[in-house]
Chain A
Amino acid sequence: DAKTTQPTSMDCAEGRAANLPCNHSTISGNEYVYWYRQIHSQGPQYIIHGLKNNETNEMASLIITEDRKSSTLILPHATLRDTAVYYCIVRTIIQGAQKLVFGQGTRLTINP
């Protein structure tokens, strides 16, 4: 699976949009971009995934560049409960274990 690069930490004010970048310059055609987050002392939680089109769900939006070498996760109105470590992962969809390869993620702190 391709490696990803994320900033180690970010801060955002409560109520503002949090934009978390991710670089995945070696992504291949059969790999999707997935985002998970992990709140302290809990297991990771799925947020969103995409291939090449922008995606939106009730939690977040995912913007993937046209060349697919980078993406941005957007939390439109961040709350204190969004404080967590956010992981950007590229995962193959071909047969096999399709395991998740986590990096160190971005520690997002939402400030009141």
Chain B
Amino acid sequence: DTGVSQDPRHKITKRGQNVTFRCDPISEHNRLYWYRQTLGQGPEFLTYFQNEAQLEKSRLLSDRFSAERPKGSFSTLEIQRTEQGDSAMYLCASRHRGDLYSEAFFGQGTRLTVV
């Protein structure tokens, strides 16, 4: 499968615990995005990487959230001290380099439930 891969698909955690999600973009896609989607809403932008550089962060990305993309390949999104309000689907997307019109390819998402 050469699509965007996210791991795990589902995560249940207790409030206050830290969680980390991984995203493997399509090979050679230098642009990587994280979105969050709550029930009944459209996805909301969290952050954007071009290669290894994190170039934009949403105000939704509180200081408990951190994202990395070492070496410009896979990316991780960590949430520290999880809260019930963090329960959502976390989506990763990637786009091809250099093409302003190219579409974003999304992974299947990681569904986080904080209990």
Contact = CB atoms under 8 A, between A and B. Distances in A.
Interface residues of A, number: 24
Interface stretch (A19-27, A44-52, A60-68, A72-80): A44-52
Nearest to A42: B108
Given A44-B93, A96-B56, 18 more contacts: A43-B106, A45-B106, A46-B103, A49-B103, A85-B42, A93-B100, A97-B48, A97-B55, A97-B56, A98-B95, A99-B48, A99-B56, A100-B33, A100-B35, A100-B45, A100-B104, A102-B35, A104-B41
A72 B105 CA distance: 22
Interface in B35-60: 35, 40-45, 48, 55-56
A44 B48 contact: no
